[in-house]
Amino acid sequence: MIIIKQAVRLQEYLTQQAGRGLISGFVPTMGALHQGHLSLIAESRKHAGITVCSIFVNPTQFNDPKDFDKYPKTLEQDILLLEKAGTDILFLPSVNEMYPEGLTNLEHYDLGYLETILDGKFRPGHFQGVCQVMYRLLKLVDPDLLFMGQKDYQQCMVVKRLLAIMESKTKLVPSPTVRESSGLAMSSRNMRLSADQRSEAVDISKILQFIKENLRSQSLPALKADATEKLQQSGFRVDYVEICNADTLEPLESWDGKTPLVALVAAFLGDIRLIDNMILTEIGG
């Protein structure tokens, strides 16, 4: 595995590799890697001839500076995991490398309603930060395939919108959420959970399963209210429990029995914010 820290050098190397005619795959991360990230590397290796991974904790997508400061950093372990997984290139830029003109007066992207709902509503500015860093990474790497986890369902849709804005040739390939044996969705933030909190955090996936199992017996508003109450009783501070059109992410108050649905949850356990989602019906039917 080659580690590159300078954007210019990355572009030079990838330009050389492009001459070989290989399909390129890209896995952007913020480090603190787990099996979910490694499954994306495996998918890239399956479909692409060269796999690029980036590790960059992007300051512009944290609307809470404390959250940025507390984000887990495990670089040495991450490098070992990526080498073992067969990653070809690790891009490891500094903040100055990604934002040479500083972090103020940055560009703004038209994300439409995606920025006003769910995490867009509860984390103002977050998705602008995601787009600011992803625009830079995509311009540098210019991959054929972009691999991202479905755990960040809304983020995948935001990046899909960004690719359309960029008129990019890159194809987004979302991969299913990887879960621990308990059902807990794998996340870098899980590293901050105590042993007791890890046991409690499993309740989020249980609530999603509850929504799925009761979809046809309760109205959507009643189902969301019940799910929210159950999470609160389990000690969570709930940002949202929402049921949306799985294709558009439009929040729904009723269901016609045909529209594909996804349930999404964001809730705090102590000061740690966890998100998860579950497809409730087959996409497209």
**Other CB atoms within 10 A of residue 208 CB:** 23
Residue 186 assigned ligand-binding role: yes
Residue 11 assigned ligand-binding role: no
Per annotation, catalytic residue among 37, 47, 108, 126 = 37
Residue 157 assigned ligand-binding role: no
Phi, psi angles (nearest 5°) of residue 29: -140, 170
Residue 150 assigned ligand-binding role: yes
Under DSSP, the state recorded for 216 is: T
Residue 37 assigned ligand-binding role: yes
Distance from C-alpha of 196 to C-alpha of 272, rounded to nearest angstrom: 13
Give the max Cα distance, the chain. Answer: 58
Output the DSSP codes for 48-101. Answer: -SEEEEEE---GGG-SSHHHHHHS---HHHHHHHHHHHT-SEEE---HHHH-TT
Comparing CA positions, the residue from 27, 29, 33, 32 lying closest to residue 73 is 32
**What counts of helices (H) and strands (E) characterise the chain?**
10, 9
Task: Work out the angle between the directed axes of helices 195-213 and 220-233 (0-180°, nearest 10).
Answer: 160
Distance from C-alpha of 50 to C-alpha of 17, rounded to nearest angstrom: 8
Residue 34 assigned ligand-binding role: yes
Residue 187 assigned ligand-binding role: yes
Residue 155 assigned ligand-binding role: yes
Residue 154 assigned ligand-binding role: no
Distance from C-alpha of 57 to C-alpha of 136, rounded to nearest angstrom: 14
Residue 232 assigned ligand-binding role: no
- Residue 37 annotated as catalytic: yes
Comparing CA positions, the residue from 112, 207, 106 lying closest to residue 162 is 112
Residue 35 assigned ligand-binding role: yes
Residue 32 assigned ligand-binding role: yes
Residue 43 tokens, joined: 């998918």
Residue 16 assigned ligand-binding role: no
- Binding region for beta-alanine: 61
- Binding region for (R)-pantoate: 61, 155
- Binding region: 30-37, 61, 149-152, 155, 178, 186-189
Query: Which residues participate in catalysis according to the annotation?
Result: 37
- Binding region for ATP: 30-37, 149-152, 178, 186-189
